[in-house]
Amino acid sequence: GGGGGRSSAMTPAEEPLPPGVPTCPLPGKICDVARKERPGSCCGMAMAGLRTAKYQLPEWHRRNAKVYNQAYTVGEESERDCAESKHLSKHAACCAQRAQQYSKATLGQRLQDIHFWRVELQKEIMELDAETNLLVAQKLRLQRALDATEVPYGIVTDNLQCRERRQPPDLVIDEVERQLLKEADLLRNIRDLLKRTIIQATNQIRSNRIQKECCELDWSDKVQTYHIDDKCVGYNNDSTNIQAHPSSVKFEENASTPKTWAQFSHDNIYNAEQEKLASVQLRSLINTIIHDVSEDLRMQRAASNEAFDNHCRELDDAKLKLEQHLEKILKDIGEQEANIVALKQAIRDKETHLKVAQTRLYDRSFRPNVELCKDEAQFRLVSEVEELTVFLEALKRKLMESEQCLKNLEETRMKLEKEIAVKANSIFIDREKCMTFRIRYPVDLEVASYK
């Protein structure tokens, strides 16, 4: 009965048939047998399988041996599998530990690289920021120098406009006007140069700040990356904030290589150095420009002031000479007026003498008869009248000449007085209007740029 139960658990291929026992088909109907009724023949549990006969003893021994061999083989395989598992676990643990340490060392080296570039970028940012501040100060100097040119330009323009009010013949293009025109032209050129330099400084400041911003972005990224990698270095198997991220094992398409990564920061630092060098050169150029334009303006101002001084001395000399001539002319006018008075008096005196002689001749023309004689007295009176007539004509001609001379003297006096007034006006314009106004001239553009 027990053999029949084991045979139902085996497949037909594994069970050899007993020799000499023919197989018979299963009956069409199986009778229900109660569990407590265990038949002792081939009916019952043995009838449920393919076999209907009992196992033979050799077969039973062979099966036992096979089961033992299979159990031994499975045991050996299990022991070998356990040993291999222990070896694999130990090897995997060593490799994992070694890989983790190597990754940690690689991250540490990466931290050093990031720290190096971060320090270099921070240094470059600070230097570029300091240089930009210096350039901003230089730009402020340029602006102050430009503002300081407004007063000189206003003074020169006012000087030229004031000198336009000179009266002819003093309204001439003299040395003063030439120097003032040169000064105005120099100031215009200086203002244009300062404006162009201010624009150049503004552009350079913008370039400095743009490059500084690029370095700051790079520096910020490296600071963030440093914190990330530093946190990664701190991870270990005992960390509580680790978890599985299967999707993280991949390379991003836009990821950089170590070469391009280092080249990026190198390029940023190189560009920052180039901008810093350009800024330093521009600051030096600004110093030179401010010094040169200040010196040029100082020399031109001195030349204009010297021309003013010389011209004022010339005007003073010309005015003094005119006043001396006027004094002499006034004296001559007085003498000529006295001479005319004397001539008129002489003419009146001669006319009186002529009247006396003519009256005598008139009265003698009434002498009667033979008494109307051409005697010596008659000849003398006639001669006296002729002489007085000639003198009167000469005196009258001289009086006319003297009056014309007096008229010429008066005209000359008026001309001299007008010329003196013109010179006085020119002196007033140049000395009082122009030179006094030029005292407000800034001492030095270079000094003014620091105020």
Q: What is the pLDDT of residues 136-156, one digit of tens each?
A: 999 999 999 999 999 899 999
Asked whether residue 237 carries a pLDDT value surpassing 60, the answer given is yes
User: Which of 58-62, 273-277, 347-351 is predicted most confidently?
Assistant: 273-277
Average pLDDT rounded to a whole number, residues 298-313: 93
Q: What is the pLDDT of residues 177-193, one digit of tens each?
A: 999 999 999 999 999 99
Q: Are 435 and 304 in contact (CB under 8 A)?
A: no
For domain 66-235+258-313, the question of CATH label 1.10.357 is answered with no
State how far the Cα of 242 lies from the Cα of 2, in Å rounded to an integer. 59
Residue type present at position 429: I
At residue 25 the predicted structure's pLDDT band, cuts being 50, 70 and 90, is very low
Give the chain as a 3 state SS string: CHHHHHHCCCCHHHCCCCCCCCCCCCCCCCCCCCCCCCCCCCCCHHHHCCCCCCCCHHHHHHHHHHHHHHHHHHHHHHHHHHHHHHHHHHHHHHHHHHHHHHHHHHHHHHHHHHHHHHHHHHHHHHHHHHHHHHHHHHHHHHHHHHHHCHHHHHHHHHHHHHHCCCCCCCCCCCHHHHHHHHHHHHHHHHHHHHHHHHHHHHHHHHHHHHHHHHHHHHHHHHHHHHHHHHHHHHCCCCCCCCCCCHHHCCCCCCCCCHHHHHHHHHHHHHHHHHHHHHHHHHHHHHHHHHHHHHHHHHHHHHHHHHHHHHHHHHHHHHHHHHHHHHHHHHHHHHHHHHHHHHHHHHHHHHHHHHHHHHHHHHHHCCCCHHHCCCCHHHHHHHHHHHHHHHHHHHHHHHHHHHHHHHHHHHHHHHHHHHHHHHHHHHHHHHHHHHHHHHHHCCCCHHHHCCC
Q: Are 107 and 226 in contact (CB under 8 A)?
A: no
**Which pLDDT does position 447 carry in this prediction?**
84
At residue 14 the predicted structure's pLDDT band, cuts being 50, 70 and 90, is very low
Which tokens in the block code for residue 324?
């001396």
Query: Where is pLDDT greater, at 353 or 51?
Result: 353
Asked whether residue 28 carries a pLDDT value surpassing 70, the answer given is no
At residue 50 the predicted structure's pLDDT band, cuts being 50, 70 and 90, is low
pLDDT, averaged across the chain: 86
Asked whether residue 256 carries a pLDDT value surpassing 90, the answer given is no
Q: Minimum mean pLDDT among 104-113, 385-394, 437-446: which range? A: 437-446
Q: Report the Cα 209 to chain-centroid distance in Å.
A: 11
**Which pLDDT does position 169 carry in this prediction?**
87
Which tokens in the block code for residue 349?
């005196």
Query: Where is pLDDT greater, at 186 or 441?
Result: 186
Could you report how far apart the first and last alpha carbons of the chain are, in Å?
125
Q: What is the pLDDT of residues 310-366, one digit of tens each?
A: 999 999 999 999 999 999 999 999 999 999 999 999 999 999 999 999 999 899 999
